[in-house]
Structure 1
Amino acid sequence: MHCNLRPALLLRALLSCGEAGGGARLAKRYVGLYTGPYFDPSAPNNITTQLGTHAYLPCKVRQLSNKSVSWIRRRDAHILTVDRFTFIADERFQAFLVEATDTWTLQVKYVQARDAGVYECQVGTEPKMSHFVQLNVVVPKIEIVGESDIYVKAGTTVSLKCVITQALEEPAYIFWYHNDERVLNYDKSLVEIRMERVAPDTTVGNLIIYSPRREDSGNYSCSPSNLDSASVVLHVLSGEQPAAMQHGNSAARAAPTLGALLGAAAGAACGARLLSVHAAPRALLRLLVLVAFALVFPVLCHDEDVLVERK
């Protein structure tokens, strides 16, 4: 009897071929044959996506027949979908079937960092069958190169660079804002905006301000699509220099205060009094007190003149 038969006669063929000595060959040929639903082992079980993009978690179920397919979030055992029906208030989750590949796909829109974790694809057999998919979420880093406060002279071209790293996908755009108002580059003689992909995971956005004026001072932020923003504060100076301002503050801190001068005078007086107690005559005591006040009062008068000028 021939062993190459149609599937409908499989069981009868197994028995007859086994008796005829062809059982070993048939058993080897039909290894992996399933009589009900089973998961396709070629389906990926580890998915990596970028923050803010859409994630697609596949679950290939062969010979499903009339069984249902559910997606469950493992961290809280929340049932997300059953077949095409969604059982969570978060509208970012949705399941759909690609019939050509027998794949039930869980879609997660605008992925957030907290979406990372294990998801279970469960088939309603008895007992239940499960396939697990790990979702990894990559969070890009974004920063504006330089200090958080930038000082430039009026009329001096300034270039702000927004660097986005660890990004699987290039942002569709990078918007720049000045004090919450979007910067537009209609007149490229004043402002120019550029964006360049400099590495497989790095994008640089550049805001160039030509001949900045004092009114161009303020907060500047770069905001890539689907990502957080980064910001700096720009100070456009007309003549004054931050170093000079800091020097002035240091000088003010170094100047002696009125209390310190009076303390010095009191100290001198106390020293003179101690001398008088021990050995010095009264004439010497008076002389020391007069000298101490003669040294202190000119400085106090100078400070009063400065205060009057400032007023």
Structure 2
Amino acid sequence: MGTICLLNWAPVTNIFGVARVRSSEIHVLVELPQVDTNSTWRSQTVTHPTLGFEPDFLYPLENVTIAQGRDAIFTCVVNNLGGYRVAWIKADTKAILAIHEHVITNNARLSVTHNDYNTWTLNIRGVRREDRGQYMCQVNTDPMKKVVIPPDIIYEETSGDLMVPEGGSAKLVCKARGHPKPKVVWRREDGGDIIVRGGTSAKSRMPSVEGEMLTLSKVTRSEMGAYLCIAANGVPPSVSKRMMLHVHFHPLIQVPNQLVGAPIAADVVLHCHVEASPKAINYWTRESGEMIISNEKYKMSETSNSYYSVQMRLSIKSLSKNDMGGYKCISKNSIGDAEGNIRLYGNYYYYYFNYFPGGGGSRSKTKKNYLFFPTKK
């Protein structure tokens, strides 16, 4: 049993509609302007049989024509509700909007209120063109087990982004509602395995984990990233929520080549691999502590490899004797700092003559390596 109203979108606001109630039926006589340019009127009668006893609709829903952007309010008065529940349904799409005091549809502009007696209100904030159509206030007198409701994430009871120190524990919670009760499954957004550790420090890698709570213990930096909780109950569509797990740790620097050789006048690139979270400030200095600034001689760049991994590069053009010596790559964040050391040396060629008995000779070229160390004054 139920009663229907119709919401029209229009540039003006009007509320109108008349109704008459008979013994076991509710008749709603609706007079509405057509949405076309002829501005003619049409009459529609909607009849819904009732059981003739409780519950009972006291008044029919009024029809509303409202300006875009305004708020729409539908009021449904039901006497003798007993143990039944009031549902709001968009009749043209058969979408369940709300049941009792809970909004079912994933639309933040909809809300329902109840005066704790017999009056139920559906509120639509900021009406849009797509909100046009028929809305039904219905009392479901069939067993609730016949009602299926698609899953919906309960955001106020679900975790958001989380930060934990490396080696700590993280608990992610995902609550969902619907009928039948949705099943919640966790996955990593990047497709990687979820690491589950047992009480005996044994760990297993799983592509997905089922349950409303995901517990990660002794978290490492490799577990940092986005996690998805997916709720499904066989009633489409499934819904999901994305949560970002941040793992914080002090910087770590790895230098692939601590000793680099290059000939005079050549170009050379120095590399440092940095891992840090939260994001670190990275820079280069000479061994003396002098900070290197990007210019025509030096060019600094970074490439991100993951949420926490960065490749630092220092390009030096046209090497001279003054460029030889020590360089430092330095990384600092709110937790700590680290540095790596690289020594740059030059490759030189020199010529010498081989002399033979009786005179004459030949010139040969040999490469020698030279290390330049700064002298203390």
Say yes or no: TM over 0.5. no
Q: TM-score, normalised by structure 1?
A: 0.36
Q: Which structure carries more helix by proportion? A: 1
Q: TM-score, normalised by structure 2?
A: 0.30
